[in-house]
Structures are given as structure tokens and as C-alpha cells.
Amino acid sequence: MKDHSMPRVVISGTGLFQPAQVITNAELVASFNAFADLQNAAHADEIAAGMRVPLVHSSVEFIEKASGIQQRYVLDKSGVLDPTRMRPKFAPRPDGELSLMAEIAVDAAKKAMAAAGKQGRDIDGVLCAAANMQRAYPAMACEIQAAIGAGGYGFDMNVACSSATFAIEQAANAIKSGSATCVLVVNPEITSAHLEWRDRDCHFIFGDVCTAVIVEAADTATSADQWEVLGTKLVTQFSNNIRNNAGFLNRCEDTDPDARDKTFMQEGRKVFKEVVPMAAAHIEQHLHTLGFEPTQVRRYWLHQANLGMNQLVLKKLVGREVGDDIAPIILSEYANTASAGSIIAFHAHHADLKARDLGVICSFGAGYSIGSVVLRRV
Ligand code: COA
């Protein structure tokens, strides 16, 4: 039953920061192969003695066929592509300067605020939700809150690739309960820094980006582009199949900070098999609790990790193959951008929908974690 005592909640604006630098699959593979050749030459004796397995070349054909990814945006291309480095190079900043994560967050936030017609003073909650945080504290959200002149409160939250959808639920609940009226959800995803560019199995997966969403009470919204949040649904189920062991205990454990387990690791095939049925069932159940069938949804803005994965989720949901019009794919251009992927899809592909059209944003990722947001165009 609808509770009329609770304020209705809308998404009234989105923003996207996209780095200027692009790495194509061809550039990425050339750099990986140069790195593999250097490593193999450096360890030629061990390889010849059978004590070490040589590194094998990567291939553009494999990447495109297995994932659907064609390129990715990154904040620092030269560091990633340098076969003697294989990670981005960022200059450390003094504490008095805006942090890198906050910088891209403020860019996306200002675009979302402009789209929603909001000033900093209108915002009374800032959720910085991303798969990685630049530091332990103070919260990135507090720095972003100060930089945009927002009031209220801010906090960081990490639910890996589901950080954005989980944050939209927190924002919607804060508005419904009256603890906030207008919340900025911002997702600065500098995934190039957690990706292991030296691992052929995953070196092609991620890209950098930042998304921002304004979530507010319908009563205060003035934007011409509003989406009512009809419902949110979150679920988690523990799995080690996507894991990163970097953390504040590392130095006390006397482990190597550059060891393989201190960056992104996954069992990609297991993730694919286990998450597809979970995500399809989750979305179906969510829609049913709101009285809708999956076929009534005009557009699905799904998590962007793998083209085949999204096609299978949709096939289970609507019983047939669907194209970009029902479920737009942005990962060919952006790669996997962790929690930002489904939000980029929404940001780039909602303008053509009509009033009262239904849409679903759904993320899936480490945890496992799945979050869905059912929207109706106002
Ligand atoms: N270039 C060429 N060949 C490669 C390669 C590369 N870069 N990486 C792996 N291969 C090879 C493997 O060695 C393997 O060879 P083999 O059959 O001779 O053993 C073969 O390709 C298949 O490898 P596999 O890892 O099983 O590939 P896959 O089809 O599962 O595709 C992913 C890999 C990662 C693209 C896919 O599993 C995936 O996207 N899974 C979902 C991941 C996900 O959603 N994660 C969430 C992250 S937040």
C-alpha cells in the first residue's frame, strides 16, 4: 500500500566526468605484450630451466569477443602504457589542495547540480560512493561537501560495483525519513589505480570516470527532467570471486604492498555464471513487489561489466534477445567503470523516454552485491 505520509522522491539531475585520455584495445595490448616480452627476457634462464612460466601475449580479438570492451578512459595514459611501469602515475598533492577523487567528484557534481537547477546550499547530504577510497579519513564526502558549498552531512560508502545504487537507496530513505531533502550521490571511480594492468586475464577490464546523481523530495524539484524513485532493493551474498586485499592491516602483516592480491582479482567465469541468475531473479522480484512485469519496463540501465552478461540477464527477464533500445551498452566505450557504469547508461540514454515510462537501474558486483532502482519518468 502506498504511504502518503512519506515524501515522494525523484532523481532530478545527473552529471558525468570523463577523463580526456583514451586507451584503445590495440594500444593496451601492444603495451601488455611489450611488458610480457621484457619480463620473459629478464627471466629467460628461469624459464629455460622450467622454473618459471613465460608470460603469454594478450589479444584484441579475445578482449572484444569475451567482454565487448573496445576502449577505456583513464586519468593517466602514459603511466599505464609504460611497459616498465604498468600503472597510472599521479603526483601526490598537499593536504591543502583538493584531492584527485574530490576533483573529479566536484566536476560531475556541478554538472548534476546544473541539470537539477540546484546550488550548493540546496544540498543537505553528500554520499561519496565508490569501489575505492583515496584515503581512510577525513571522508572524501566531507571534502566534496565543502568544495561545492553544501550543508548537512556527508559520508563515504563502499559496496564495490554496487556503491551507486546502494547510495541511491540511502539517499531516498534519508529523504523519506526527513533527515535530508536533497542528496548528492557521487561516484568517483579511479579504477585504473586498483586494476592489475600486468595480468592478462583482467588488464582490459576497467576505465576511470565519475558520475553524480541528485536525489531529492519531489516537492522541491524544479528540473524539467525528473524520475520518480518507485522503489529500491538491495541484496548481498558473500563471495571471494571478486576480491582485493589492500587495506590498513597490510603493513602490520608485513606483506608485500605490490603483491598480486593487493589489486583487483576475480574468477571471471564463476562471476559470470553466478551473478547472471542472481541479477535476473533480483530484478524480477523487485518489479513484482511493485506490481510490474519485466516486459513492462521501457529501459534497463544495467551494470556494465560484460556485454554477454547483460544480454543473458535480459534474456532471462524478458524471454528474448533485446537490443540497445531496451538495454543500452556503454562498456564498449567506457569499459567497466565499477559503480558508475549503470549510472552512465542512465545519464546517456534516458532523454528519449516519455512521461510515465518505466526504467530500472541495476548494478551487480563484488560482495556479491546487487542493487536495483525502479524509476518512472514524471
Ligand atoms: N588475451 C588472449 N587470451 C586470453 C586473455 C587475453 N587478454 N585472457 C584470457 N585469455 C585466454 C585464457 O587463457 C583462456 O585460455 P584457455 O581456454 O586456453 O585456457 C581463455 O582465454 C578463456 O579465459 P577465461 O578467463 O575463461 O575467459 P572468459 O571467457 O571467462 O572471459 C572475462 C573473461 C573476464 C571477460 C569474463 O569472464 C567476464 O567478464 N566475467 C564477468 C566479470 C564481472 O562481471 N566481474 C565484475 C567485476 S566488478
Topology, domain 227-377: Peroxisomal Thiolase; Chain A, domain 1 (3.40.47)
> What residue owns the CA closest to ligand 1's atom 34?
268
User: Could you identify the atom of ligand 1 that is nearest to the CA of residue 309?
Assistant: 41
270 lines ligand 1 (CB under 6 A): no
Tell me how far apart the alpha carbons of residues 287 and 277 are, in angstroms, rounded to a whole number. Answer: 15
310 lines ligand 1 (CB under 6 A): no
| Cell matching residue 360 | 530500472
For a mutational test of ligand 1's pocket, the pick from 32, 61, 62, i.e. the residue with the most ligand atoms closer than 8 A to its C-beta, is 62
Rounded to the nearest angstrom, the distance between the alpha carbon of 200 and the centre of ligand 1 is 9
Query: Which parts of the chain have pLDDT scores under 50?
Result: 1
306 lines ligand 1 (CB under 6 A): yes
36 lines ligand 1 (CB under 6 A): no
Q: What are the pLDDT digits (tens) for 136-165?
A: 999 999 999 999 999 999 999 999 999 999
Q: What pLDDT is stored for residue 6 in this prediction?
A: 86
Rounded to the nearest angstrom, the distance between the alpha carbon of 195 and the centre of ligand 1 is 15
Q: 3-class SS at 185?
A: strand
User: Could you identify the atom of ligand 1 that is nearest to the CA of residue 32?
Assistant: 7
| Cell matching residue 16 | 558525468
331 lines ligand 1 (CB under 6 A): no
67 lines ligand 1 (CB under 6 A): yes
* Buried-state track 71-98, b at ≥16 Cβ within 10 A, e below 16: bbbbbbbebbbbbeebbbeeeeeeeeee
Q: What are the pLDDT digits (tens) for 298-329?
A: 999 999 999 999 999 999 999 999 999 999 99
Q: What pLDDT is stored for residue 308 in this prediction?
A: 95
- Give me the helices (H) in 149-205, please: 163-177
Rounded to the nearest angstrom, the distance between the alpha carbon of 335 and the centre of ligand 1 is 15
Q: What are the pLDDT digits (tens) for 211-250?
A: 999 999 999 999 999 999 999 999 999 999 999 999 999 9
Read off the pTM. 0.97
Rounded to the nearest angstrom, the distance between the alpha carbon of 202 and the centre of ligand 1 is 7
Q: What pLDDT is stored for residue 3 in this prediction?
A: 54
> What residue owns the CA closest to ligand 1's atom 13?
201
Rounded to the nearest angstrom, the distance between the alpha carbon of 269 and the centre of ligand 1 is 7
266 lines ligand 1 (CB under 6 A): yes
Phi-psi region of 169 (alpha: psi -120 to 50; beta: other; left: phi over 0): alpha
- Specify the DSSP class assigned to residue 336: B
* Domains of the chain by residue range: 227-377
Which residues, including other chains, have CB under 8 Å from residue 329's CB and lie 6 or more apart? 68, 304, 307, 310, 345
- Residues marked as catalytic: 161
DSSP 220-257: G---SS-EEEEEEEEEE---SSEE---STTGGGTT--T
Q: What pLDDT is stored for residue 5 in this prediction?
A: 75
62 lines ligand 1 (CB under 6 A): yes
